[in-house]
Chain A
Amino acid sequence: MNIKKLGKLALPYLVWMLVLVGIPLLMIFILSFMNTDGVSFAGATWTTAAWEKMFTLADTTNLQILGYTFLTAFVATVICFLIGYPMAYIVARSPFSNKFVILILTIIPMWSNSLLRNVALKNILSESNILDSLLSRIGLSFSIVFANQDQATFISIVIGLVLTFLPFMILPIYTVIEKIDESLLEASMDLGANRVRTFAKVTFPLSMKGVTTGIIMVFLPCFSGFAIQKLLSSGTVYVLGSLIEVNYIHDINFVSMLSIVILVLIFGSMMIVNKVDKEGATLV
């Protein structure tokens, strides 16, 4: 087919993207370099104040928040991968005829209301919890002891994030593993690779696409969300999302800057993952 014709077909989509994505993004970018009164350009002036507020060494509070957000999101993503990959693999390679149902059964508990689930989790992780009060009736006790409050908060947040976003890691990985042609695994064994080597040299490289998708889909909400973090830390911990939540009414410029930072970091991590993926695909 003629490329010019195809180009014309893409035009409505381009207009759509420009109006709904391109222009708003540009607005946010411009706002982050201004001093405005809400979302209004009346009496606005150019300034880099918002950026200085974030990236200044005089007061590193905001940078620390950025670091903490990244760390929790990163650890949660890694744990999601470590739990999600084996789960997806085992289900995809199981002999059941309706594997998808099995998969749904394993992740349905994670689809119960996230707020309730995290409230329950907070309760269980606290010193006097529901399990303890139940078990105490038969003379047992249950409580998780943390070294200090900071550690307790960090672990709680990571567990909360993992429980909430694990399905988003499992599903894409399951989909790619399920699609891998059985004859490729047979070919690998035929060529002298035992099961472990077949996994390392064939299954895993071929499932990298699902892994990439899973990582993006888990990392992205972990990095930009704030509700789970706020709930599980009883509001003691600030992440980038909470900075936006707190500031969006009175400091739209600062908030714009924050969303640009989040965007850049997410695009950056996507690019890194993509690069790793490509190398994984060719260097095995």
Chain B
Amino acid sequence: MAKKLIELKDITKMYDGTAVVDHINLYINENEFITLLGPSGCGKTTTLRMIGGFEKPDSGEVVMNGAVVNDIPPYERPINTVFQRYALFPHLNVYDNIAFGLRNQKVPKAEIAERVENALKMVSLPNFALRKVANLSGGQMQRVAIARAIVNKPKILLLDEPLAALDLKLRQNMQYELKEMQRKLGITFVYVTHDQEEALTMSDTIVVMKDGVIQQIGTPTGIYNEPKNRFVARFIGESNILDGVYVRQNLVSFMGAEFDCVDTQFADGEPVDVVIRPEDLDIIDAVGAKLIGEVSSSIFRGVHFELCVMVQGKEFVIHTYENRKVGEHVGLRVDSYEIHLMKVEHVEH
């Protein structure tokens, strides 16, 4: 069992009378790469800022290594942050930016020089020490911001949408590098993003948030394959969500047909939400198929085609390697283990 490094106990944070973070409970293990994922305004950044000490929770406790740290200021926490807009000091050059934290700790000069050099190597920016911050590109600033944080060897590194301002290619490279860095340094990463792909790629654990409430905590595969509710299913990847009824053990009915399924935790006759991922639907001949529809659009996506098929007035999204013509009648098939059932939430529509 991994050691709990941070614990958030029943944390609430209000802004102007509305709860931005609403009774959150969460623990973060040592050496974990945990991602807070959600749309903007879901409270993920506020949660991060409370861990960093920039905001105080209105109620609840932030526990670090067993001690409550609600009132400990940021400069006394063993935490460093990579800010969204980098927040590099414009009046200092790259070297002085990175050395800032070490100087605050009164580290000897020779050691500072060595550690800054190593940090620059780590983010692949050797020979950048004397550059002015204003003359760096976005990607380079990002790397300096990361170097400035990791050079202090913090126990925990907080990253607030650090890749949001970078272009796609650079972002993908940085995702890989960050993950590598985390593995090598053995630092706990708490990462905030609204990009589900980023979260799936890098995280050990994903925390999906919405309106200040945690929707689901799990591994990337767990969250992708078994979303807990419609929100998570929609937010993590594309999915077809259908109204269905759990007929009896291993049998579910939707779209006027009955299908075998593997989920078992429902009562007979209980209404359920059925989730089918686009890549799990296969196109077969219309004759004899349980789901028959007409192809309404086809878009080439590089690796696959994205087909939309209208079945009884409901649009299905399907990812397939074989293209079909618009207007063609096709049948749809899905394997029993690829039908995922969720409890119906009445607040959701």
Tell me if A183 and B91 are in contact (CB < 8 A): no
Q: Which of A181, A184, A191, A281 contacts B101 (CB 8 A)?
A: A191
Shortest CB–CB separation between residue A63 and chain B, in angstroms? Answer: 40
Shortest CB–CB separation between residue A272 and chain B, in angstroms? Answer: 20
Report B-chain residues with C-beta under 8 Å of the C-beta of A189.
53-54, 73-75
Tell me if A284 and B92 are in contact (CB < 8 A): yes
In the assembled complex, the Cα of A186 lies from the Cα of B45 at a distance in Å of 14
Shortest CB–CB separation between residue A179 and chain B, in angstroms? Answer: 11
Tell me if B100 and A191 are in contact (CB < 8 A): yes
Q: Which of B73, B79, B91 contacts A194 (CB 8 A)?
A: B73
How many chain A residues have a CB neighbour from B under 8 Å? 20
Judged by a CB distance under 8 angstroms, whether B104 is at the interface is yes
Taking CB atoms and an 8 Å cut-off, the chain B residues in 53-93 that contact chain A are: 53-54, 73-75, 79-81, 83-85, 87-93
Judged by a CB distance under 8 angstroms, whether B18 is at the interface is no
Report B-chain residues with C-beta under 8 Å of the C-beta of A282.
91, 93
Judged by a CB distance under 8 angstroms, whether B188 is at the interface is no
Judged by a CB distance under 8 angstroms, whether B152 is at the interface is yes
Judged by a CB distance under 8 angstroms, whether A202 is at the interface is yes
Question: Closest B-chain residue to A208, C-beta based?
Answer: B91
Q: Which of A183, A192, A205, A284 contacts B85 (CB 8 A)?
A: A183
In the assembled complex, the Cα of A193 lies from the Cα of B84 at a distance in Å of 20
Report B-chain residues with C-beta under 8 Å of the C-beta of A193.
75, 100, 104
Shortest CB–CB separation between residue B39 and chain A, in angstroms? Answer: 22
Judged by a CB distance under 8 angstroms, whether B96 is at the interface is yes
Tell me if A183 and B96 are in contact (CB < 8 A): no
Judged by a CB distance under 8 angstroms, whether B135 is at the interface is no
Q: A189-B73, A194-B75, A201-B100 are in contact. Are A184 and B87 (CB under 8 A)?
A: yes
Q: A197-B104, A284-B92 are in contact. Are A186 and B74 (CB under 8 A)?
A: yes
Q: What does the 1/0 interface line of A165-190 toward B look like (CB < 8 Å)? A: 00000000000000001011011111
Report A-chain residues with C-beta under 8 Å of the C-beta of B83.
183, 186-187
In the assembled complex, the Cα of A246 lies from the Cα of B162 at a distance in Å of 66
Report B-chain residues with C-beta under 8 Å of the C-beta of A281.
91
Q: Which of A187, A192, A194 contacts B89 (CB 8 A)?
A: A187
Tell me if B52 and A206 are in contact (CB < 8 A): no
In the assembled complex, the Cα of A189 lies from the Cα of B100 at a distance in Å of 10
Tell me if A192 and B96 are in contact (CB < 8 A): no
Judged by a CB distance under 8 angstroms, whether B127 is at the interface is no
Report B-chain residues with C-beta under 8 Å of the C-beta of A190.
52, 54, 74-75, 79-81, 149
Taking CB atoms and an 8 Å cut-off, the chain B residues in 76-132 that contact chain A are: 79-81, 83-85, 87-93, 96, 100-101, 104-105
Question: Closest A-chain residue to B79, C-beta based?
Answer: A190
Q: A183-B83, A205-B91, A206-B90 are in contact. Are A188 and B100 (CB under 8 A)?
A: yes
Question: Closest B-chain residue to A187, C-beta based?
Answer: B87
Report A-chain residues with C-beta under 8 Å of the C-beta of B152.
191-192
Most B CB within 10 A of own CB, among A190, A193, A205, A284: A190
In the assembled complex, the Cα of A188 lies from the Cα of B87 at a distance in Å of 9
Q: Which of B54, B80, B90 contacts A191 (CB 8 A)?
A: B80
Q: Which of B79, B91, B101 contacts A206 (CB 8 A)?
A: B91
Most A CB within 10 A of own CB, among B85, B92, B152: B92
Shortest CB–CB separation between residue B103 and chain A, in angstroms? Answer: 8
In the assembled complex, the Cα of A201 lies from the Cα of B89 at a distance in Å of 10
Tell me if B104 and A192 are in contact (CB < 8 A): yes
Report A-chain residues with C-beta under 8 Å of the C-beta of B104.
191-193, 197
Q: A183-B85, A205-B91 are in contact. Are A192 and B73 (CB under 8 A)?
A: no
Judged by a CB distance under 8 angstroms, whether B148 is at the interface is yes
Shortest CB–CB separation between residue A109 and chain B, in angstroms? Answer: 34
Taking CB atoms and an 8 Å cut-off, the chain A residues in 222-268 that contact chain B are: none
Shortest CB–CB separation between residue A192 and chain B, in angstroms? Answer: 4
Report A-chain residues with C-beta under 8 Å of the C-beta of B79.
190
Report B-chain residues with C-beta under 8 Å of the C-beta of A191.
75, 80, 100-101, 104, 148, 152
Question: Closest B-chain residue to A204, C-beta based?
Answer: B91
Most B CB within 10 A of own CB, among A183, A188, A191, A202: A191
In the assembled complex, the Cα of A193 lies from the Cα of B89 at a distance in Å of 13
Shortest CB–CB separation between residue B2 and chain A, in angstroms? Answer: 25
In the assembled complex, the Cα of A181 lies from the Cα of B86 at a distance in Å of 11
Q: What does the 1/0 interface line of A85-103 toward B look like (CB < 8 Å)? A: 0000000000000000000
Shortest CB–CB separation between residue B55 and chain A, in angstroms? Answer: 10
Shortest CB–CB separation between residue A59 and chain B, in angstroms? Answer: 49
Shortest CB–CB separation between residue A139 and chain B, in angstroms? Answer: 52
In the assembled complex, the Cα of A247 lies from the Cα of B153 at a distance in Å of 70
In the assembled complex, the Cα of A191 lies from the Cα of B157 at a distance in Å of 12
In the assembled complex, the Cα of A188 lies from the Cα of B90 at a distance in Å of 12
Shortest CB–CB separation between residue A56 and chain B, in angstroms? Answer: 46
Tell me if A192 and B54 are in contact (CB < 8 A): no
Report A-chain residues with C-beta under 8 Å of the C-beta of B85.
181, 183
13 A-B pairs with C-beta separation under 8 A: A183-B87, A184-B90, A186-B81, A187-B83, A189-B54, A192-B105, A193-B75, A193-B100, A194-B75, A201-B100, A206-B90, A281-B91, A284-B91
List 8 additional contacts besides A191-B152, A197-B104; criterion CB under 8 Å.
A184-B90, A186-B74, A187-B88, A189-B53, A190-B52, A190-B75, A194-B73, A206-B91
Q: Which 6 A-B pairs have the closest CB atoms?
A: A191-B101, A192-B104, A187-B87, A183-B87, A189-B74, A190-B81
Q: A residues touching B (Cβ–Cβ < 8 Å)?
A: 181, 183-184, 186-194, 197, 201-202, 205-206, 281-282, 284
